[in-house]
Amino acid sequence: MPNIKSAIKRVKITRTRTLRNAAAKSALRTAIKKFEVALTNNDLEAAKDLLKKATRSLDKAVTKGIIHKNTAARKKSRLTKKFNKLGA
């Protein structure tokens, strides 16, 4: 445990940010999983809507610094490719 006042504050801030990032990452994974479940159920309308939501949450994760922009681009590409494969 740190003794210096500023170091104590940094520990508190780090703990808060870690929890916030974990929650955001979990929500992101949930959005992607919901989309994949809709795909396996062959529900195109729901899948289309959920793809939009998953893409939006991936973009938000990038702006908040939770994931790298290339990671988000790769995930969006793969999700879109899955959706298009089912639609065709």
Number of separate domains in the chain: 1
Residue 50: count of CB within 10 angstroms of its CB: 22
Measured over the CA atoms of residue 30, residue 36, residue 39 and residue 45, the dihedral's sign is positive
Q: Which domain holds residue 61?
A: 5-87
The reported pTM is: 0.86
User: Helix 5-40 to helix 69-87 angle, to the nearest 10 degrees?
Assistant: 10
Which CATH number covers residue 31? Answer: 1.20.58.110
Q: What confidence tier does 88 reach under pLDDT thresholds 50, 70, 90?
A: confident
Average pLDDT, stretch 76-86? 95
pLDDT digits (tens, 9 = 90+) for 39-56: 999 999 999 999 999 999
